[in-house]
Structure 1
């Protein structure tokens, strides 16, 4: 038997594995993390990558907690807030699956749900401050510098009040029902000095110059918006789709995925997110690409029939280069915001006019989202976007990683 090499013993770190919305991630309290990883840098990146099992050339995450999808390759750090008027700081890392990269540039809207519940589980927020069975947790989203308010239900447990995780709230894309958590994303639009900070070009609809491989003629209409996450919305019909597509129709078509990435790069350049096309590789999630279509009936990935009467419009979105199985939380914020502004492609697909909420169809079913938008001096802004999600602890204890990870 070969002797054990120095430094290869595993270390263990307190961690909690949680589902939030249609995503899953490994949650850490900042004070529980190894000291070198408590600050941004290579050590923290290496820790998160090893926890998830990346980079993995097999794209399977067999040797980690990840699930080899954009929805399941996530880690979160929560700590007492450094910001006045907030309870906790929430920092999110999206771990690339087969490349050596951790993306810190954006938020995960789905795991924002779990961040509020985790704040209570972790002892940062006292559940005794509940009003009518709800604890309001004010979260500072440290990646993008925004406030998220979560309304977390609590119930009597063996040790007093604790987060209520079971319930009858159903979320399409999640197999089992759970307790409803309402989220408010305050002032979700990106900050900026130009009049078009929410619409970075100042236009509700732009004409993008794209490669001929994307669309014949090399031009396509798009709504470019910064709300929740920078997003590029196009009409499904303009790129040869109906808006009823499921994951298999897109993710198995490598030529289609290349066209979507070319479209993402063109939109990112137009929005000023990239200085050069090669910069797109440094942002796994932003901008996201989504395509919209008027409401029509279809069969969801679970086999459920979604009728045109059930929804206002259809939306399909890509995350990390693949069609999402449901809808990203941050993209849902962008959908809600764009739908609330008359004249965007999202608004027009929903039938046009002023609206404060829409129900859209996605591959797994439907989701209702709302936004409060207003126009002042010719410029649009949004005060908040609202949606409901659920969250649940799947496992808690210690994560183990080799001692030479960082």
Structure 2
């Protein structure tokens, strides 16, 4: 199946500036195309993924992706989707964020070889431009009426918008124009909220080049959940690509907990599985939903893509241990991942090696009497093994790598004991 047909089947095309023109171009030649991200944080989250994965699909068909990290635009702030001014970041913060994002993009794209992806920073061409040059060479070509017609700007007129954020769309237009001139870039893709910025770039190219200059824009739909809640959010916040912010285990769990109503759509959006493979998984959702084959596949594909095979296997191991309750074979590093959100207690004294004392001190049981009753009733497990001796004292072997003991009361109430 040709590229645009595949993108249509996957549902990742929202708008195009010239569908027939782009189809004709892609049939004739291999092109360069770009997508950008502003470094407003030191990590991307999964809400950033779909445009970049779409860019990678172009690379798989022989086209050259250009990834723009917005060192300049990140200093200004995109007014899209905002009702008030963004807080301006310092240059040092933006540069630090750029480095964090670059590492994550390297897990998505192949930057090697003659036709490998290119990563650029728009601060390199916008940061040194003086204001007079900006006004004469760029601003002269973008009409105020044209900008006021943009939704991202029109929506902010009542609440107020600074000149700084007002010019953001011109800076993005500069990006497209620069890449068109220096990398023969003919297509920009982005989220649906970037339509106004993309078309501003096309306007600048049209105004500064001959009539036969051709460039195109394509946007990706906003990812939604069937129940109406926001995609990419959990109780603890955004699902980050940085393993220090969202561990590979948490990342894996996010995808494996996808609802049946969403999982086929996400397989199309985010994975590089074939049409046949996705159709088979769609059938499994209908006929064997209890097996959750589609969710497991989605979680494996996404965790492998972002964090690698080793982190995926570790996430699976932690998941299986927590499901079975047998956590003794987990390493200390795996326990840190799997029990990140579990209540914890730091042992204060040697006396707390006594299990009854520890249960009360860690607030697992409300009193010594209840602690003894819990133990004798078989409700207490240490590292997955039931303890029924009310006089039990924790041994060195109960302390995983000398750092952790995992106590479970009943079927689901875990507490992480730290030393």
Report TM bin, short chain: under 0.3
Higher relative contact order, chain-length normalized (CA < 8 Å, sep 6+): 1
Q: Kindly name which structure, 1 or 2, has the bigger radius of gyration based on alpha carbons.
A: 2
Structure with bigger helix share is 2
TM-score by structure 1 length? 0.23
Structure with bigger strand share is 1
TM-score by structure 2 length? 0.23
